[in-house]
Structure 1
Amino acid sequence: MSAKNWLSRGTLVLASNNKGKITEFENLFSELQLPVNVIPQGQLNIEDAIEDGLSFVENAIIKARHAAKISGQPAIADDSGICVPILGGAPGIYSARYAGEHGNDAANNQKLLADLLPFRQQNTPIQAMFVCVLALVEHAEDPLPKIFQGFWHGEILEHVRGEQGFGYDPLFWLPELGISSAEMSKAEKNKISHRGQAMQHFRQSLG
């Protein structure tokens, strides 16, 4: 699949109904200045796909194919989350529904803090990594989805900090900056975040 093929279609469906993600993507796509309309799937009455893959890559492809099949347009999907090595990589692909209810950020954050309590040691940071995988398909049965990945390394705080962002941003500490990702502006976050990195790879693929 060449960039020319899907760009010529004029429309790219963003396979997400997550308001926080959609806002970030709208800003990121605006910076790309692509000659194509990027439409969140909700505007086309497309509900979320059933994410039954076992990896970020699988789920991103599932979501992209789902949106492409219903819309008849090329689609791009994001699957992302936070991985904590000391928890065996959890919450991982279950980040959005870690506490049981999909998209309940406060409950997810509280569960993560509770699960980490047994591992807390004085002056020993708990490492974590935000992961973003983008999958781009030209059509629902595209045999060669394009994959773009971004990884953002940091630590997990003991208490939430900051009012910006969404998801696990208030717990994600960036020691080199001395702030949480929820204390960054949208523009600052997009420059270095996992999603920003994946979008940079996407941009580079366009030549």
Structure 2
Amino acid sequence: MIVCAASNNAGKLKELRRILERMGHEVKSLRELGINLDPEETGTTFAENARIKAEAFCKASGLPTVADDSGLCTDALHGAPGVYSARYAGHHGDDDANNAKLLRELTDVPEEQRGAKFVSAVCFMLPNGRALEVEGECPGRIAFTLQNGDYGFGYDPLFIPDEYGAPDGKRPNTERRSYAQLTPDEKDAISHRGRAMEKLEAELPAFLG
């Protein structure tokens, strides 16, 4: 199946493509389809925003479309930045500014109160308007400083997941590596988006009938 991946975020697109192609689908980016849209994300939940994007890009492409809305929710900040994760510092997609603001907000928060989770809502929409919606979460903690690596984007250098993927299953992240320091395979096995896509993969055959 040819699927439109409804994201202009290079990091997110790379993850969606990697996961969808592993599921056997051919993925087309918005650039490859010549689509230049920026639907307003007016939802108050990740699921609402994912559906808004899926619907807009499905209509524009005429293809089955997968859209994701995701973000970071911290315990100490009562769920913030949440649905505002991409524009937390005021400008959409400014990773450096978003990370700097989050560190400032958590300056005086001790280790035991730095719990957080990444949340991903995925909406797979068909041109006839039918939609399959799933969510995935990954629990972890917020580091005190950036833990840069070769693979991350967004808040990845600050997020320390509780576990990571390994050939023999999942392992506790005793090394305290950040999302950005995990390999794609290590991350996909436990990531919020990976878990949402696992649910999508499991439910998609029945949904497509």
Query: Shared topology, TM-score over 0.5?
Result: yes
The 8 Å contact of residues 21 and 27 in structure 2, kept in 1 or not, is answered as no
Percent identity over the alignment is 41
Q: 1:50 aligned to 2:48?
A: no
Q: What corresponds to 1:168 in structure 2? A: 155
What is the alpha-carbon distance in structure 2 between the residues aligned to residue 16 and residue 38 of structure 1? 12
Q: How far apart are 1:125 and its partner, in Å?
A: 4.1
Segments ≥4 residues shifted beyond 3 Å:
none
Q: 1:40 aligned to 2:29?
A: yes
Q: What corresponds to 1:112 in structure 2? A: 102
**How many residue pairs align between the two structures?**
192
Matching of residues 33-112 of structure 1 within 5 Å = 33-34=24-25, 37-46=26-35, 47-112=37-102
Q: 1:188 aligned to 2:176?
A: no
- Secondary structure in 2 matching 1:61: helix
RMSD: 1.5
Deviations 1:156-199 (A, max 9, x none): 01100022211111000135312111110111111110011011
The 8 Å contact of residues 17 and 48 in structure 1, kept in 2 or not, is answered as no
Q: What corresponds to 1:156 in structure 2? A: 142
Deviations 1:61-82 (A, max 9, x none): 0000000111122211000000
Which stretch shows the higher mean deviation, 185-194 or 44-53? 44-53
Gaps of at least 5 residues in structure 1 are 1-9
The 8 Å contact of residues 138 and 161 in structure 2, kept in 1 or not, is answered as no
Which stretch shows the higher mean deviation, 126-135 or 167-176? 167-176
What is the alpha-carbon distance in structure 2 between the residues aligned to residue 67 and residue 127 of structure 1? 34
Gaps of at least 5 residues in structure 2 are 163-171
Equivalent of 1:31, from 1, 11, 22? Answer: 22
Equivalent of 2:203, from 188, 201, 205? Answer: 205
Q: How far apart are 1:45 and its partner, in Å?
A: 2.7
Q: How far apart are 1:85 and its partner, in Å?
A: 2.1
Q: What corresponds to 2:5 in structure 1? A: 14
- Secondary structure in 2 matching 1:39: strand
- Secondary structure in 1 matching 2:134: strand
The 8 Å contact of residues 76 and 113 in structure 2, kept in 1 or not, is answered as no
Amino acid at match of 2:30: Q
Amino acid at match of 2:93: G
- Secondary structure in 1 matching 2:106: helix
Q: How far apart are 1:124 and its partner, in Å?
A: 2.2
